[in-house]
């Protein structure tokens, strides 16, 4: 399927900002309605020309999970959402992920970081992570937060109320009806979901396809439920920690449990301006 007006719906994220979780939900939406999904986490995956890549791939929904605005500003005819996270929590999440759970096969840099982290204490490792994530913080700082066609959202708000958050996201993208779906719309969605699943299994195009303007809102809630933290973690609740899981803890503000006075001082010196710009602090008195 190709969306109306050949527009592309985009998710712009950053390293350790819930990108795997969000992509799981986007993939399920694409399966339901037959949208073409694509993603990239570094510029070489789209040959450093995002606009040309999306045009050639005829992508409907695209996830750019290490979003650099330099590559986004050349796009037109798209609508998207952008997720940021408290950089201090990115440091803590990155430390445990890079030490234990993050795949290393596709990234020499993360593989080398893991070896460094194995050789040092947690306190030293957190300092290393502050340097490791320099580009992540730079890209968040340099992002254009005034785009009318991009919904800005903090990960902290999304995990606090994922059902409300994702309904807001998909409404902004124009994928969820503002009113109760008609019987015809529900039937069309069911037929599309079924034929899309058949296509996935047998590798052919659906024999029947009814174009959809929107997805029933309760189906969005169902997809979010299917990707709930407890389901991703075999029953763990938010806040229950498994340091070796990619879904380690799932709560905001965890940096307070790991930063000591040295970490706070170093972070303030290097990145406090970012915290202020992103709205996580008003000054350096934290």
pLDDT for 201: 60
Whether 19 and 35 share a structural domain: yes
pLDDT for 241: 47
Supply the DSSP string of 11-61, one letter for each residue.
EE--TTSSHHHHHHHHHHHHHHHT--EEEESSGGGGTT-HHHHHHHHT-SE
Q: What is the pLDDT of residues 99-135, one digit of tens each?
A: 987 777 777 888 899 999 999 999 999 999 999 999 9
Whether 69 and 163 share a structural domain: yes
* pLDDT of 244 above 60: no
Task: With H, G, I as helix, E, B as strand and everything else as coil, classify residue 176.
Answer: strand
Could you tell me which residues come within 8 angstroms of residue 97 by beta carbon, excluding any fewer than 6 positions away?
16, 246, 248
Whether 77 and 165 share a structural domain: yes
| Comparison of pLDDT for 74 and 201, the residue scoring more | 74
pLDDT for 132: 96
pLDDT band at 203 (very low <50, low <70, confident <90, very high): low
The verdict on residue 243 lying in a domain is no
pLDDT for 184: 57
Whether 28 and 132 share a structural domain: no
The verdict on residue 76 lying in a domain is yes
Whether 266 and 188 share a structural domain: no
pLDDT for 264: 98
pLDDT for 251: 77
The verdict on residue 281 lying in a domain is yes
Whether 259 and 231 share a structural domain: no
pLDDT for 43: 95
The verdict on residue 246 lying in a domain is no
pLDDT for 5: 54
Q: What is the pTM of this model?
A: 0.84
Whether 93 and 222 share a structural domain: no
First to last CA, the chain: 49
* pLDDT of 245 above 60: no
| Comparison of pLDDT for 236 and 32, the residue scoring more | 32
Supply the DSSP string of 242-256, one letter for each residue.
-TTSSS----TTGGG
The 3-state DSSP composition of the chain as helix, strand, coil percent (nearest 5) reads 55, 10, 35
The verdict on residue 242 lying in a domain is no
Say which range, 57-61, 84-88, 177-181, 278-282, has the weakest mean pLDDT.
177-181
Whether 62 and 22 share a structural domain: yes
Whether 180 and 208 share a structural domain: yes
The verdict on residue 197 lying in a domain is yes
The verdict on residue 133 lying in a domain is yes
What range does the domain containing 180 cover?
Answer: 1-84+148-237
Whether 225 and 257 share a structural domain: no
pLDDT for 239: 47
Whether 107 and 180 share a structural domain: no
The verdict on residue 247 lying in a domain is no
Q: What is the pLDDT of residues 5-31, one digit of tens each?
A: 568 999 999 999 999 999 999 999 988
Whether 257 and 216 share a structural domain: no
Total domain count for the chain?
2
């Amino acid at each position: 399927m190709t969306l109306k007006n050949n527009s592309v719906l985009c998710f712009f994220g950053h390293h350790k900002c819930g990108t795997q979780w969000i992509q799981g939900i986007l993939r399920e939406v694409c399966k339901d309605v037959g949208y073409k999904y694509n993603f990239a986490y570094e510029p070489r995956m789209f040959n450093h020309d995002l606009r040309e890549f999306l045009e050639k791939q005829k992508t409907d929904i695209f996830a750019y999970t290490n979003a650099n605005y330099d590559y986004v500003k050349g796009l037109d005819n798209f609508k998207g959402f952008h997720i940021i996270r408290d950089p201090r929590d990115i440091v803590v999440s990155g430390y445990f992920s890079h030490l234990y759970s993050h795949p290393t096969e596709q990234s020499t840099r993360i593989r080398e970081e893991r070896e460094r982290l194995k050789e040092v204490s947690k306190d030293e490792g957190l300092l290393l992570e502050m340097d490791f994530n320099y580009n992540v913080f730079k890209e968040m700082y340099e992002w254009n937060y005034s785009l009318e066609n991009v919904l800005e959202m903090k990960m902290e708000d999304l995990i606090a109320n994922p059902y409300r958050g994702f309904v807001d996201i998909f409404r902004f993208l124009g994928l969820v009806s503002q009113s109760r779906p008609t019987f015809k719309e529900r039937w069309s969605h069911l037929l599309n979901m079924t034929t899309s699943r058949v296509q996935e299994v047998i590798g052919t195009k659906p024999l029947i396809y009814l174009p959809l303007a929107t997805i029933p809102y309760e189906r969005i809630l169902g997809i979010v439920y299917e990707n709930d933290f407890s389901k991703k973690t075999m029953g763990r609740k938010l806040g229950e920690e498994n340091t070796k899981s990619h879904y380690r803890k799932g709560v905001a503000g965890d940096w307070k449990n790991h930063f000591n006075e040295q970490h706070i001082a170093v972070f303030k010196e290097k990145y406090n301006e970012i915290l202020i710009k992103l709205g996580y602090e008003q000054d350096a008195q934290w």
